[in-house]
Amino acid sequence: MSDPFSRDWFPTSDEPNPMRAAQAAMRASLPKRFYREAGIEERDGAFQLVLDGRPARTPGRNPLAVPTRDLAGAMAAEWGAQGDEINPATMPVTRIVNSAIDGVSAHAREVVEDLVKYAGSDLVCYRAAGPERLVEAQSAAWDPVLDWVRERHGVRFALAEGVMHVGQPEAACEAVRRAAEAVRSPLRLAALHVMTTLTGSVLIALAHAEGRLDAEAAWAAAHTDERHQESVWGEDHEALQRRHAREAEFRAASLVYRLAGA
């Protein structure tokens, strides 16, 4: 993979936010596919993406290598599925891995602190005053998350009605910090951050990462309000398309977290 290709289509970024770093890969025109096959080679205890037998690199010129064969296989599948042109928008696993290797590995503390900020204004802590159906839907989707946080991490989060900010107990935010700091893998930390930014809830992201919610339940919980609005006013086609695209990104992050290893 040539230097110009890497710079142009998977640009290097010092941005610690993996989602923003991923978005930097979007371009109006796309390069032609320059390889026939994408594969995997085991090198130095890691699994390297290879294109026509040549080792691929990240935009930062680091080896595009991961600790598990399954995660490398997911990247190879994305590269293999490209058509005549290479579209980074259809390669979310590769983008997250690039961000983890080039950015998150050197900015882990900043990523952790950003996750703690989400804990200070987490989606599941802000409840509607009405109508009753929405109140019940939020409670059904979000109370189990808060129950899990209390049981798993031993802290309670304060709830607010409406959009008025409510300060969270220091112990609650510190519990999120400890949980995030326990994620030692840059790949997993990048994936956790992506899931948090897409859902607006570090608590939902942690509940999914730690096995309390599956991907479908986590995504549905994060979009309780939107689904209620659609039940009242009907679906907005463009909004639904955007949500489906974001869900694909969420599921890719979920896959990276699961396949990255400890």
Query: Domains along the chain?
Result: 3-89 (3.30.2180.10), 107-259 (1.10.3580.10)
State the number of CA atoms in the 13 A half-sphere of 261 facing the CB.
9
Residue 254 burial (CB < 10 Å; 0-12/13-18/19+)? buried
pLDDT digits (tens, 9 = 90+) for 25-49: 444 588 999 999 999 999 999 999 9
Whether residue 163 is predicted with pLDDT greater than 90 in this model: the reply is no
Q: Is the separation of the CB atoms in 40 and 54 below 8 Å? A: no
Output the pLDDT for position 23.
Answer: 53
Whether residue 198 is predicted with pLDDT greater than 60 in this model: the reply is yes
Output the pLDDT for position 6.
Answer: 41
pLDDT digits (tens, 9 = 90+) for 77-124: 999 999 999 999 999 999 999 999 999 999 999 999 999 999 999 999
Which residue carries 């998150």 as its tokens?
104
